[in-house]
Structure 1
Amino acid sequence: MIQYRIEVADVHAHRFLVTLRVDKPQPRQQLSLPVWIPGSYLVREFARHLSPLKARQGTRDVRVTPLDKATWELDTQGSAALTVQYEVYAFDTSVRAAFLNAQRGFFNGTSVFLKAHGFEDLPQAVKITGLPKGWQVATALPAVKVDAKGGGDYLAPDYDALVDHPVEMGHFWRGEFTARGVRHEFVVSGATADLDGQRLLDDTRRICEAQIGFWHGRRKAPFDHYVFMLNVVEDGYGGLEHRQSTALICGRKDVPRVGRTVNKDAYTTLLGLISHEYFHTWNVKRLKPIEFAPYDYTQENHTRMLWFFEGFTSYYDDQFLLRTGLIDAATYLKLLGKTVNQVLATPGRLSYSVGQASFDAWTRYYRPDENTANATVSYYTKGSLVALALDLALRELPASGKAHPSLDGVMQRLWQLARPITQADVAQALADEAGRYPQMLPVKAGTPVVEAWQTLLDKWTEGCDELPLQHLLDRLGVAWSAKAAPLPQQWGVRIQDNSGAAKVQAVMRGGLAEQIGLSAGDELLALDGWRVKKTDDLAAWHDAQRAQALLVNRDQRILTLTVPALNAAAGKAGKPPRVPASTQAATDIVTLALSDVSSAPDKMVRRQAWLQA
């Protein structure tokens, strides 16, 4: 057994003190700290927050030699127990690392627990100690002997499990519920005293019950305890999944409060986040890509399937809000339309496949800059649209038995494999669920069904053609309409308003802004002689019928650019010149709405099955 002691050492200096004990170390024992945390695909160099390691065997000091940025070799001799002590600086407010101040403590194991090489598969014991007065502990780690506040001894079966159970501590609100026989805890740190915790519990319970039923029917879930850890801050958003818990962060405006009207859109966003991270309990934590079996904590773990594990999860998160009645069909279509518009506004979708975007998440998605929208596409949003397209393609096929094929059936078939999966497994599950060719893909006679679905899957995940969403939605009774986007999107520019200044964040490839010479970092000063202080001022002073001077500040140099008049080939008045559709971000905004299907009963049945509120 490997033993850790983690102590709240100094809340004002934001430091945990960690002691590691290896009873019978190996000769030249090696220790290492992960450089990344599963679920967040960026090398984050957690070891930079560790103090120098101090090691002893009995009364003998043990020399510690660094081998690389996160690995150390210790000059161990004989079988005497090895004790290693170090401090961890913890002041990362995100869900990915560790945090400690006078009000709250939090840590992921990947930030604080050194791995003892050769002993990864042994049980890993943890003692949590030094809690300030009144602090509580919340974690899904199996407790061995803890006090009423949660301080004391915990035990993980191996190192992977140890670092997959984050720990929340401090003064927080706590509630719990049971969903399909599983005890769920919900802790909220940083909330105001009027938090409507009961509403949060009730709504979360509906999501959990629906998702457990989705994966297991009437069977038991593969866990008996789950913990939601929500940190409420002034402004923030994010989550990170774990096998029996999730760490969440949201803004104060997002949570429900007793006696106050909740911000409906903000609260829906929070529920969507809860739904997303809970769905990951299955899709990526247990059903995972073959490249993640096992995790390599020393370097990037590349896979081309984040479009499935993140994208399909993004499709189902709002689906479960709909299925549980937490939102209605109109709200769901509004959320879906938002995702469609996010993808269409990304020029990178036309040159970078979602499979390649998955592989390059480590260097592109998690390191965004002013060119990211031109250089890649989000595997979250584009992946969710691939899921939508596949679901609708399946649902338009003839029913087999009592129900039409659906993506639900595909997910459940993959779950039954009970092993890490590949893209070929997804294609096979699609073929098994459909039992026939996809309708929109011409195939030669005699082509195996699985080969046809693999071809379609490759086309949508490894190609850059637009997905046939308008066609598929129309066949299910959902109308697709478009109108002109706000002026900055028509120009192909993203602008941030800040303290009376409108500053260019990004310029879209092939758009009007690029053509006239705008660059990221430019401050817009005036259009046609009129002062521009915020983005809305552009529309106020813009006249598409004639050329206009645009005054910009670039590195304290005043430049004059020319916004051209609408040319004859551009079409309707009031819009800037169009650029080739093969290179541009969309200059229209898509709206989705239910259409009248009263004269098409089969279409109505299939639509009702999809929008099963």
Structure 2
Amino acid sequence: MNKILLTLLFLSFLGNAQTNTYNISFENAVHHEAKVNISFPEVKSNTITIRMSRTSPGRYALHEFIKNIYGFKATNSKGEMIDAKRVDPYSWEVSDHDGTVNIEYILFANRGDGTYSQIDETHAHLNMPATFMYAEEFEHRPVKVNFDVREDLKWKVTTQLKEESATTYSAPDLYYFMDSPTEISDFQMKSFDMNGQEIRFALHHQGTPEEFEKYFEDVKRIVEQEKAVFSELPDFDYGKYTFLACYMPNVLGDGMEHRNSTILTDQESLSDGGMKGNIGTVAHEFFHAWNVERIRPDELEPFDFTEANMTGSLWFAEGFTSYYTGLFLCRAKVNTPQEYIEGLSGTFNYVWNSAALEYFNPIEMSYQAPFVDAATSVDPTNFENTFVSYYSYGSILGLALDLSLRQEDLNLDDFMKLMWKKYGKTEVAYEIGDIEETLKQYAGEEFAKDFFSKHIYQSEKPDYENLFRSVGVSIKREADKSYFGADLKKTDDGLEIYRNTFKGSPAYEAGLDSGDIIISLNGTAVTTPEEFRKQIASADGSVKVNYVRFGEERTSEVKLKPDPTYSIKIDPNASKEAVKKREKWLSPK
């Protein structure tokens, strides 16, 4: 939503009685319940549909939030019960009202992350689609919400919504309301000004003010480095951007971007590894304020709250953001260049040693999001061999594009700045072809056509050895190590292969599969992953594996292969020119 539209909506709101009002209270927080009341005034049609969202902004899969709604009631302006008919799993049809429809229900919420809600005596952590029902026909109406906070728990409210009072907030329409997560707790708040806008960090944790102060300094440097890429901040609504950080033992690790805020959750406290462990999510989510919130894929406009939202651009929207995550930690001096370079190895190996690239290019991998983005299913999949995360795939392609551009005395920063000027600042949604056309404009038609034809429309691997060499980085395999190709865990029954074996690996070609219990190697019993690795390391070319499948003991000869794992490190013998390019790449802006 652009700022002109936002202003017009609020001007309309100020003189418009047709405002939907919400109230939520937390008397039974100890049992994870909230009571929600909604009022829809001036209802003209005899029947309206009240429904719960099945999706959440920033997520691409379905989430059936309705399962935690009960005690549903519908009344008119006099408090009299009116007809409410359940028409499908997600909605009720409410009719025979007197022009006002009031809704009441109880919400159970006990998952604190970037998608769901959690209510207990430490906080009310609210993602709106997981909390509030709505009437789709009133999606353009303004919304007011009152949070009936627990004063006995010293709760206060922070959110990107427009503050009307300490507990009452407003939104210009339903989408803005649904896109505005809210943290209600006894949090601490710090902020700083950047170019006339306020960057706020609300922290709900059990740590000390000194820990928060140290962490906040890292946050500020990251914000500064990200702003430097685009030369400006987005125009945040109401001149504010809010980090909603909850580092508590009762939440789950997550991060989720929104238009002028982000949720950050993790069990790891700042004193117990979170000082470094959580800061990467800060870098990732704030970059989304440009890339995905405003430089936005066309398929996500408008966002659908009833069906899964799918786009083929997640390799760019999420993947390139992931590439910059590690880079910003280096530029902000949270991590050293050595930590950053060596940290590339994990993602690199995950992507380029996967058989999944036989089946899907980055665009098609992005289409898998509705099935993997916090989605759950009971039937097993073969994702070990058919799926590579678009976060990782896009990240390692962003690395390749940046290093390729730098060989032409260009860089990814300036390309992203051009995408920002064309599609972000203007808030004109882009299609995949627009990314290629922008790269043609920036780096030339031949360069852009070559990159997209090989690495986006196909799954060809870039020449990383040459790219890394150009910035004084080495990449090599440790071919003297033996490779088996199965993930193992110790169980009461024995050493179990607990996931699908990797296609093309020795274990896969020998017919070993998930669920097999390995008893011995070359006649020597193995009961732990450590014992197994030692036996494989000392094996000479092949190994005889005794295992149990479906209660029957079997034997297979596994022909070992050289370890395909790459190691990425700073090259101590790099040329002066390469070192200079590396410093320019990794140094603060």
TM bucket by the smaller chain? 0.7 to 0.9
Using structure 2 for the length normalisation, give the TM-score.
0.88
The CA distance in 2 between the partners of 1:548 and 1:477, in whole Å, is 39
SS in 2 for 1:326: coil
The AA in structure 1 aligned to 2:257 is: E
SS in 1 for 2:364: helix
The CA distance in 1 between the partners of 2:404 and 2:475, in whole Å, is 17
Give the alignment partner of residue 567 of structure 2, picking from 573, 585, 590.
590
Q: CA deviation at 1:386?
A: 1.4
- Report if the CA contact (8 A) 2:465-2:475 is conserved: yes
Give the alignment partner of residue 131 of structure 1, picking from 150, 173, 178.
150
Give the alignment partner of residue 413 of structure 2, picking from 408, 412, 416.
408
Question: Given the alignment of the two structures, is residue 427 of structure 1 paired with residue 436 of structure 2, yes or no?
Answer: yes
What is residue 91 of structure 2 aligned with on the other side?
71
Q: CA deviation at 1:269?
A: 3.7
Q: CA deviation at 1:220?
A: 5.9
What is residue 294 of structure 2 aligned with on the other side?
286
The CA distance in 1 between the partners of 2:541 and 2:216, in whole Å, is 57
Question: Given the alignment of the two structures, is residue 9 of structure 1 paired with residue 2 of structure 2, yes or no?
Answer: no
Query: Structure 1 218/67 Cα, relative in aligned 2: closer, same or farther at 3 Å?
Result: closer
Query: Structure 1 77/135 Cα, relative in aligned 2: closer, same or farther at 3 Å?
Result: closer
Matched length: 557
What is residue 583 of structure 1 aligned with on the other side?
none
- Report if the CA contact (8 A) 1:322-1:329 is conserved: yes
The CA distance in 2 between the partners of 1:67 and 1:532, in whole Å, is 57
Query: Structure 1 589/607 Cα, relative in aligned 2: closer, same or farther at 3 Å?
Result: closer
Give the alignment partner of residue 606 of structure 1, picking from 565, 581, 587.
581
The AA in structure 2 aligned to 1:5 is: N
- Report if the CA contact (8 A) 1:35-1:298 is conserved: yes
What is residue 22 of structure 1 aligned with on the other side?
40
Structure having the higher helix fraction is 2
What is residue 207 of structure 1 aligned with on the other side?
222
Question: Given the alignment of the two structures, is residue 249 of structure 1 paired with residue 265 of structure 2, yes or no?
Answer: yes
Using structure 1 for the length normalisation, give the TM-score.
0.84
What is residue 46 of structure 1 aligned with on the other side?
65
Please list the CA deviations of residues 217-240 of structure 1 after superposition, one character each: whole Å capped at 9, or x if unmatched: 388656622222223245953211
Q: Give unmatched runs, 5+ long, in structure 1.
A: 147-151, 398-403, 439-452, 567-575, 579-585
Q: CA deviation at 1:356?
A: 0.6
Q: Give unmatched runs, 5+ long, in structure 2.
A: 1-18
Q: CA deviation at 1:513?
A: 1.2
- Report if the CA contact (8 A) 1:405-1:434 is conserved: yes
- Report if the CA contact (8 A) 2:111-2:252 is conserved: no
What is residue 191 of structure 2 aligned with on the other side?
176
- Report if the CA contact (8 A) 2:244-2:264 is conserved: yes
Question: Given the alignment of the two structures, is residue 313 of structure 1 paired with residue 321 of structure 2, yes or no?
Answer: yes
Q: CA deviation at 1:597?
A: 4.2
Question: Given the alignment of the two structures, is residue 467 of structure 1 paired with residue 462 of structure 2, yes or no?
Answer: yes
The CA distance in 1 between the partners of 2:386 and 2:86, in whole Å, is 37
Give the alignment partner of residue 456 of structure 1, picking from 451, 469, 478.
451
Within 5 Å, give how 1:82-481 maps onto structure 2.
82-133=101-152, 134-146=154-166, 152-193=167-208, 196-217=211-232, 224-234=239-249, 236-252=252-268, 255-257=269-271, 263=273, 267-364=275-372, 366-367=374-375, 371-397=382-408, 404-417=409-422, 418=426, 419-435=428-444, 437-438=446-447, 453-454=448-449, 456-481=451-476
Q: CA deviation at 1:274?
A: 0.8
The CA distance in 1 between the partners of 2:444 and 2:74, in whole Å, is 62
The CA distance in 2 between the partners of 1:94 and 1:198, in whole Å, is 24
Q: CA deviation at 1:361?
A: 1.2
SS in 2 for 1:12: helix
The AA in structure 1 aligned to 2:419 is: L
Judge which range, 460-469 or 499-508, deviates more.
Answer: 499-508
Query: Structure 1 596/523 Cα, relative in aligned 2: closer, same or farther at 3 Å?
Result: same
The AA in structure 1 aligned to 2:283 is: S
The CA distance in 1 between the partners of 2:432 and 2:83, in whole Å, is 47
The CA distance in 1 between the partners of 2:192 and 2:21, in whole Å, is 32
- Report if the CA contact (8 A) 1:55-1:62 is conserved: yes
Q: CA deviation at 1:466?
A: 1.8
Please list the CA deviations of residues 2-31 of structure 1 after superposition, one character each: whole Å capped at 9, or x if unmatched: 111111131132111111111111411122
The CA distance in 2 between the partners of 1:588 and 1:214, in whole Å, is 33
Judge which range, 388-397 or 311-320, deviates more.
Answer: 388-397
- Report if the CA contact (8 A) 1:406-1:433 is conserved: no
Q: CA deviation at 1:411?
A: 1.2
- Report if the CA contact (8 A) 1:181-1:224 is conserved: yes
Query: Structure 1 281/380 Cα, relative in aligned 2: closer, same or farther at 3 Å?
Result: same
The AA in structure 2 aligned to 1:517 is: G
The AA in structure 2 aligned to 1:607 is: R
The AA in structure 2 aligned to 1:21 is: S
What is residue 62 of structure 1 aligned with on the other side?
82
The CA distance in 2 between the partners of 1:495 and 1:192, in whole Å, is 37
- Report if the CA contact (8 A) 1:187-1:230 is conserved: yes
The AA in structure 2 aligned to 1:363 is: F
Q: CA deviation at 1:346?
A: 2.3
Query: Structure 1 221/88 Cα, relative in aligned 2: closer, same or farther at 3 Å?
Result: closer
Query: Structure 1 221/112 Cα, relative in aligned 2: closer, same or farther at 3 Å?
Result: closer
Query: Structure 1 99/554 Cα, relative in aligned 2: closer, same or farther at 3 Å?
Result: farther
Please list the CA deviations of residues 562-600 of structure 1 after superposition, one character each: whole Å capped at 9, or x if unmatched: 244x5xxxxxxxxx147xxxxxxx72232232354445x
- Report if the CA contact (8 A) 1:553-1:559 is conserved: yes
The AA in structure 1 aligned to 2:123 is: R
The CA distance in 2 between the partners of 1:317 and 1:294, in whole Å, is 27
The AA in structure 2 aligned to 1:144 is: E
What is residue 582 of structure 1 aligned with on the other side?
none
Query: Structure 1 532/192 Cα, relative in aligned 2: closer, same or farther at 3 Å?
Result: farther
How high is the sequence identity, in percent, across the aligned residues? 24
The AA in structure 2 aligned to 1:528 is: N
Greater relative contact order, per chain length (Cα 8 Å cut-off, separation 6+): 2
- Report if the CA contact (8 A) 1:228-1:245 is conserved: yes
The CA distance in 2 between the partners of 1:604 and 1:422, in whole Å, is 37
The CA distance in 1 between the partners of 2:338 and 2:109, in whole Å, is 43
Within 5 Å, give how 1:525-544 maps onto structure 2.
525-542=519-536, 543-544=538-539
The CA distance in 1 between the partners of 2:77 and 2:373, in whole Å, is 48
The AA in structure 2 aligned to 1:606 is: K
The CA distance in 2 between the partners of 1:563 and 1:192, in whole Å, is 54
- Report if the CA contact (8 A) 1:26-1:76 is conserved: no
Query: Structure 1 230/500 Cα, relative in aligned 2: closer, same or farther at 3 Å?
Result: farther
Q: CA deviation at 1:85?
A: 0.8
What is residue 518 of structure 1 aligned with on the other side?
512
Q: CA deviation at 1:380?
A: 0.4
User: How well do the aligned residues superpose, as a CA RMSD in angstroms?
Assistant: 2.6
- Report if the CA contact (8 A) 1:364-1:376 is conserved: no
